Structure 1
């Protein structure tokens, strides 16, 4: 059954992506929507299995790894201040309005704060793909988005740890902060000093594809290390990509990883987002899904957009940066699952939030296409 499902996914995503482009939209939009069509909400041809989920995780990790390989490090450094303003702007607005929504829904204080915190999460994996298609990943807006995403991930996870400690969870805050600091210190040091040296040594091995094999292995190791220390795996994969991107083997690793990723794993990731969403599960709460989806889109768009404006971006560029932060993706789904386990969400609200995450993910590509400055020269 799995083999049949994979065959459907691979063919359907390519056809849907092509159709989206013909309609003037990024191909990723068609790939996302085809997952919803094939999943339990509509045709029911694809089941949300654990194997499919694991394959999709590899897809998003490789996607962020490729984004790291393409990152202009000097531009990334220059975007630090702007990334901070965008990141914090994209946390404060959703957190405050999300808390207010929880209060109006009759939730207690901690669940209301959790709702705001969940709406503050960001996953730029879909944004990355959209920007790659547009040739804008290395633009000032693109690098600012990547910087803001790292800040958003770290701050939201730390705030989540504080909240869980108040909710009765067994959270050692000093240990948690120490692990995160250790991850960034060790990963940056290893990426700077060890990775280029290791790749140079690997080139002498008399086996097939030694460089790309070690490159992907480093991607997975950095992702695992990030997840182990409480940072999102996609951040680890991105740092691995940035590290290898400074080596002489960059082009070889990127070219061959793209072939592996886009031929199989990335299509599975895009499809799985729609497959894991069962809109029938929200029942009579459809109105709540609509309201929270609007809140989720506007708070992140406006909050991050204002941060970009304060950083000196033009109005249009600020709207583009804000749009790039809208998608909640797999990061919000992980946080929602934690909230369900910690009794900060009930099952009905969890189902609603899964739909909200899907909506934010689907609207991001067309928002980016609509708002991104058209006068800027595309990256090669």
Structure 2
């Protein structure tokens, strides 16, 4: 037994098994003590590396391979998550702020480098580390509903400029450091880089569009195409003499529009965020030698370098935001949001630091200082963003003023609600809910059954599936007659249930899809998504995801949490009004605010919610409830115990540039609720929602102190 264990110690598969265990356990443990998961991965690298248990070594070929894949994946995801369309909408100001937040930190970092005795090449590289930023706090501004604010949009767009600029500086500095770097070689490198950039951005984009058009819904082949594009671009970058992370970032920009918000994009990001990117952070921890790291925080000269890098970065980013405020006439709150959004240094900064350190251009003291910088800015940036983003345009009540009480379904047509039927035990409640929705507008419902196709259409297995689905539709038709609503049953043969639902709803021009709850219960569901996820991704119309514990006609006490005043919040309120009118129910609007919110501010929030409810519902049969609490999900769960039904928005969140998942309040709350739940999922593109009012020119947060 002992000899067997000894023989396994050198096996790469054992190391890989340990890495998987670390990735699974350590981030969760650190998040429980309210520390970022990245910190846990770095700490695990230190503990298992040369300075600790010596389980891993950064000299290992296996570790180097996996870390390099993680490094490439990290920069690819950073490029993939940049909103290209948003950049073009405000490209002039995005380029302007991008120039400010690139040059000011670049100059500041160069001065810091020179002040501590680094040569010009290393100093400029240190400056380039200051120049980029990671949109770590994007999920926060998205949740607060302020992505439409120009200052936020400009900051997001500036990411393209800063990251590309920083990577170009890195490429030149590494080339100069390699030696024998003449002016001719510099010009050759710049020309090669320019041509390479055009080939990747234009060529990969066109090739991707053509490939995706030809392959249709073959997600497996599309996934492989994206991976091939990433590593092909990385190898191409090395062939022209620049770092592979430059190619990885450009490939992310190139396939950005091709992927859009498709399920393939989620799978690509998922693979990186749960496997390769965490391994990269563990490898970063392997580079940290505890004595040297402690020395960098205790030795006066090295501590001074760390402080200079951290403070210099923060002040330079603040200076860039101040310049944008003066030039574009933003207010102080918008300036502070631009500063806090551009503060975190994770993806491009860590990648460039590792490249510079491996090339011998940056010292170990700089590496340790940058890790401290990452920890400080990754923690402080989101906190400041949450603080200042909630205060944007506190006096703007345009959405309340423009809200109209129109029907949420166009009464000039016969609206159609698709109800996929696959579980006889839940189909009755789903059909009853759909009937309540369409009855007021004289609409109709369409029970939909999907029979999975076979290679041959005459096989007995397909005949049996069709017969079973026809039985479900017959039962659904009988239920519809009892509900006194017109039903048009649809039987569809398709090779994928989710695609069948989405295609049928598009073909029938459905107004809404009502589906039953689907919990994720397996690793396969996490990796490939479940049916409901795919329907929400692909649907052209809203999707109501339901978990009904009782007949919808018995759900009279409705709770509608409204976190911020956005157009989607109004849509949810209108949906709730339809259900309340159908069963003479009562609506409670719930808002969770900070514990520090003043009584006067809470009174203002209450007045705005009351005004909105009166304009939407045209009735006074509603309750306004405002609860001060720092844990939004917990407060919603606690409040839900007194209600029959909770209506929430269903939103999907990608990872940030760092590749780590961000928890969603909706997901946290629904896991613990014991009452019925309806979640409204919106199409990924911006549709003309059948229940929405005219969209205002910009979306603002509702309460100035909301979270």
* Range class of TM-score, shorter chain: 0.7 to 0.9
Pick closer, same or farther for the CA change 1:321–1:87 going to 2, 3 Å: farther
1:294 maps to 2:277: no
2:547 equivalent in structure 1: none
Query: Does the Cα contact within 8 Å between 1:277 and 1:358 map onto a contact in 2?
Result: no
2:166 to 123, 131, 152: 152
- Measured in 2, the distance between the counterparts of 1:325 and 1:122 equals 8
1:53 to 53, 64, 74: 64
1:120 to 98, 121, 127: 127
Alpha-carbon deviation of 1:246?
1.5
2:74 to 45, 51, 63: 63
- Measured in 2, the distance between the counterparts of 1:283 and 1:32 equals 15
1:323 to 343, 366, 373: 343
1:334 to 345, 352, 355: 355
Residue correspondence of structure 1 range 107-186 to structure 2 within 5 A:
111-122=118-129, 127=134, 130-131=136-137, 140=153, 141-158=155-172, 161=175, 164=177, 169=181, 172-186=185-199
Structure whose residues are more often strand by fraction: 2
Structure 1: gaps of 5 or more residues: 103-110
TM-score by length of 1: 0.81
Deviates more, 1:277-286 or 1:212-221: 277-286
Pick closer, same or farther for the CA change 1:28–1:284 going to 2, 3 Å: closer
1:189 equivalent in structure 2: 202
- Measured in 2, the distance between the counterparts of 1:124 and 1:35 equals 27
Pick closer, same or farther for the CA change 1:323–1:70 going to 2, 3 Å: closer
- Measured in 1, the distance between the counterparts of 2:294 and 2:344 equals 30
- Measured in 1, the distance between the counterparts of 2:242 and 2:215 equals 29
2:47 to 26, 37, 40: 37
1:108 equivalent in structure 2: none
Query: Does the Cα contact within 8 Å between 1:118 and 1:336 map onto a contact in 2?
Result: no
1:260 maps to 2:271: yes
1:367 maps to 2:380: yes
Residue aligned with 1:323, SS? coil
- Measured in 1, the distance between the counterparts of 2:46 and 2:160 equals 27
2:369 equivalent in structure 1: 356
Query: Does the Cα contact within 8 Å between 1:305 and 1:321 map onto a contact in 2?
Result: no
Alpha-carbon deviation of 1:67?
3.6
Pick closer, same or farther for the CA change 1:199–1:72 going to 2, 3 Å: same
- Measured in 2, the distance between the counterparts of 1:326 and 1:257 equals 20
Deviates more, 1:277-286 or 1:86-95: 277-286
Once superposed, what is the RMSD of the aligned Cα atoms?
A: 3.4
Count of paired positions: 359
TM-score by length of 2: 0.46
1:85 equivalent in structure 2: 100
Map Cα deviations across residues 204-251 of structure 1 (whole Å, 9 max, x no partner): 87xx81110111111111222234334443342233233323226751
Alpha-carbon deviation of 1:51?
2.3
Map Cα deviations across residues 183-211 of structure 1 (whole Å, 9 max, x no partner): 22222221343321123224487xx8111
Alpha-carbon deviation of 1:126?
9.2
Residue aligned with 1:270, SS? helix
Deviates more, 1:90-99 or 1:78-87: 78-87
More contact order relative to length (CA 8 Å, sep ≥ 6) = 1
Structure 2: gaps of 5 or more residues: 1-9, 391-563, 565-650, 654-707
Pick closer, same or farther for the CA change 1:284–1:303 going to 2, 3 Å: closer
Query: Does the Cα contact within 8 Å between 2:109 and 2:123 map onto a contact in 1?
Result: yes
2:5 equivalent in structure 1: none
Query: Does the Cα contact within 8 Å between 2:26 and 2:44 map onto a contact in 1?
Result: yes
Pick closer, same or farther for the CA change 1:214–1:257 going to 2, 3 Å: same
Residue aligned with 1:372, SS? helix
Pick closer, same or farther for the CA change 1:175–1:196 going to 2, 3 Å: same
1:245 maps to 2:248: no
